[in-house]
Structure 1
Amino acid sequence: MSTPPQPPQPADQPAPQPGQPAPQQGVPPQPTAYPYPNPQSPPPGNFYAQPTLVGQPAPPQAGVPGNPYAQPPQYGPVPAPPSGGGGGAGRAVLWLAVGAVVASAAWAAGVFLIGGTGDSADLRGYSAPSNMCSGADYSSFKDEYPENDSSATHNSLKDKALDESYCSLSLKKTGSSYADAYLSMQVDLHRKTDPGPEFTATWKNYGDSHTGYDVSPVKGIGDEAYLVSQDTTSGSSSGSRYATLAVRDGWVTYTMSYSAYLSSYDQDKNPPALTDVSDWLKTDTRSTLEQLKN
């Protein structure tokens, strides 16, 4: 089979050999949207680039020996910039590499600073008992309510994020068959989050979210404490009296709540005044917090 005729070639170029593509004439370099120098060729002014000798294979890249697709390591020693005469593109590539190394180091440092210590809860030696009814002090109420509650309820929670213990009991005057008032105590040890901002928002502003309650800050108990109270009796035979003392000490919160309800059949057993109840709450809360410390 005869060879097809070849197109005429310019005088300054040799005719192509069989199996080789004909050279293209007058094709200018194609534009690109990539704003940085071609990573496969050394940027202008980079005197570290090694020339490739004609007829010799390119030197192997770092990575798996003999693997032509291996990529060079992303982070390594950053060479010093040329002392002078380096091109702007070369300096841009150099500073990109420096920025990548610095950013990587800063990220690693941030991880160690944020998560390195683990437990940073400010628990101040407090512990949550398994039975809050026996772990709390409410002796100030005994003179008014001497009868013991044989059916008091309690529960507790132990978790890496929160330790909690709770007690609810009935208060009875002498000779009462039914509860004349109710008392509850709860301690929370916040192990992962600081309860301070939410505690302040909840109790300092309790009167804004609950109509008819009085809120007073209490000094000398924990880091902050608030007394919330309400009296709807107004000298009648119905209504209720309510008071809660809420305390935060570090990442530990404690609440002690009292409530009493008037009815027509126990008018001779009126509940104590809220001023007395408030004093009892403060006294027993101080004592309980001391007991809960190791």
Structure 2
Amino acid sequence: MQDRSEDVPAQPTQPQAEPPRPGSTAPPAPTVPNQSQAHHQPSPLPRPESAPGPYPGPVPAGGYGPPPAYAPAPPYAYGQPSGFPPPSGGRGGGGRAVLWAAVGAVVASALWAGGIFLLGPLGDDPDLAGYRARTDLCSSVDYTALRTEYAERDSAPTHTSLTHEAIDQSACSISLKTSSSSSYADAYLSVEMDLHKSTDPSPEFTALWSEYDQRFKDYEVERVSGFGDEAYLATEDTTSGTGTSGSRSVILAVRDGWMTYQMSWSAYTSSYETTTPPETDEVARWVRTDTRSTLENLRSD
């Protein structure tokens, strides 16, 4: 036997041709590939019914034909948030964590901003300047100076009050008569105190009273000192030269911390049973004096 190298394939055995029989035609000899062709011809691969891998499905014969229909990808585990791109990466765990951290930060910022809008600056406590709510404000009103003109005291003044976690309000209305012979009130006095416990009234108070003459053209407004943090005096006089028609009014508005107060006097010449109402300058002096003593009562009572 002749030795051969292991890396050289064995030569196939040539079949012996059978001699033709008399009277028959010899079939053509089978074509046998030469040695070089046999060595380089690739052997056909098996064609399984299905190919292994992540996408199962039948494989067309010969590797041709339309691509197989793959199963749809599974839905996003937590639902895709609207307005945000899907997390990157094959597994998605880190992407989802970053996404929800960003969403949480946005929501927290919105809630924090909403709390500031609804509740005002954090840490602001109401500055009530020592004033307390009154159920009967009339019992604390001192109008001694006004009684220089209106000697008859009102025996049944009216009062109202409101208590709430945001604001406490007290109001008093007094009828003023020059004498007991007066059938009707010659003038009217009203006093109101508001304790603002939720928001600082400073900006609104300044805007309302410093520009009071914008709303009521007949009024004149001036800022006065000696009352709380700020105060405004508003006066009106629409009486005619004869003093038989028109009205006169004096209002003193005061803000002390988060407390707001006003004392208002008004008179109509048509209802005055004597001569004419006193001049607004004179009434303004009385109102200032009575406001000072009334504010002291509202702090000490």
TM-score norm. by structure 2 comes to: 0.64
State how far apart, in whole Å, the 2-side matches of 1:15 and 1:36 are: 37
Kindly report which structure 2 residues correspond to 1:91-170, keeping only aligned pairs within 5 A, or say none. 95-96=98-99, 99-100=102-103, 102-103=105-106, 120-170=125-175
1:283: which partner in 2?
289
Sequence identity percentage: 46
Could you say which residue in structure 2 is the equivalent of 1:272? 278
**Correspondence for 2:49:** 15
Cα distance, 1:257 vs structure 2 = 0.4
CA contact (8 A) 1:183 1:259 kept: yes
What's the TM-score once normalised by structure 1's chain length?
0.66
User: Could you tell me how far 1:233 is from its partner in structure 2?
Assistant: 2.1
Contact 1:237 / 1:264 at 8 angstroms: preserved in 2?
no
Determine the structure 2 residue equivalent to 1:219: 225
Q: Partner residue of 1:261?
A: 268
Worse overlay, 138-147 or 120-129: 120-129
Structure 1 residue 201: deviation in Å? 2.2
Q: Describe the superposition over 1:125-161 as per-residue Cα deviations: whole angstroms up to 9, x where unpaired.
A: 2112111111122111122211111231111111222
Q: Is the 8 A contact 2:87 2:99 kept in 1?
A: no
Distance (Å, rounded) in 2 between the aligned partners of 1:28 and 1:219: 89
Indicate yes or no: 2:207 matched with 1:207: no
Aligned mates of 2:271, 2:49 — CA distance in 1: 120
Matches of residues 172-191 of structure 1 in structure 2 within 5 Å? 172-177=177-182, 178-191=184-197
In the alignment, structure 1 residue 242 sits paired with structure 2 residue 249: yes
> Do the aligned residues in 2 keep the contact of 1:119 with 1:191 (CA within 8 Å)?
no
Following superposition, the deviation at residue 22 of structure 1 comes to 2.7
The alpha carbon displacement at 1:28 in A equals 9.6
- Cα separation, 1, equivalents of 2:112 and 2:219: 49
The gaps in structure 2 that reach 5 residues or longer are 1-43, 60-65, 74-79
1:36 partnered with 2:42:
no
Report the AA paired with residue 15 of structure 1.
E
Query: What does residue 293 of structure 1 align with?
Result: 299
| Secondary structure, aligned partner of 2:264 | strand
**TM-aligned CA distance change 1:197 to 1:13, over 3 Å:** farther
CA RMSD in angstroms, aligned pairs only: 3.8
1:210 deviates by: 1.1
Rounded to whole Å, the distance in 2 between the matches of 1:179 and 1:108 is: 55
- How far apart, CA to CA, are the structure 1 residues paired with 2:46 and 2:104? 50
Structure 2 letter corresponding to 1:148: R
Contact 1:194 1:251 (8 Å CA) reproduced: yes
Per-residue deviation, 1:37: 4.1
Return the offset for 1:208. 1.2
CA distance in 2, matches of 1:242, 1:35: 68
Contact 2:253 2:263 (8 Å CA) reproduced: yes
- Specify the code of the residue in structure 2 equivalent to 1:219: S
Cα shift at 1:256 = 0.3
Q: Deviations over 1:1-43 (max 9, x none)?
A: xxxxxxxxx94553249xx963467469999x9843467x426
State the distance in 2 between where 1:282 and 1:202 align.
20
Question: What is residue 252 of structure 1 aligned with on the other side?
Answer: 259
Give the letter aligned to residue 291 of structure 2.
Answer: T
CA separation in 2, counterparts of 1:219 and 1:13?
Answer: 105
- From the superposition, tell whether residues 37 and 156 of structure 1 become closer, same or farther in structure 2 (CA, over 3 Å): closer
- The aligned amino acid for 2:280 is L
Gaps of 5+ in 1: 1-9, 44-48, 50-89
Q: In structure 2, what is the Cα distance between the partners aligned to 1:277 and 1:172?
A: 15
Q: What's the secondary structure of 2:267's corresponding residue?
A: strand
Cα 1:12–1:252 shift into 2, 3 Å = farther
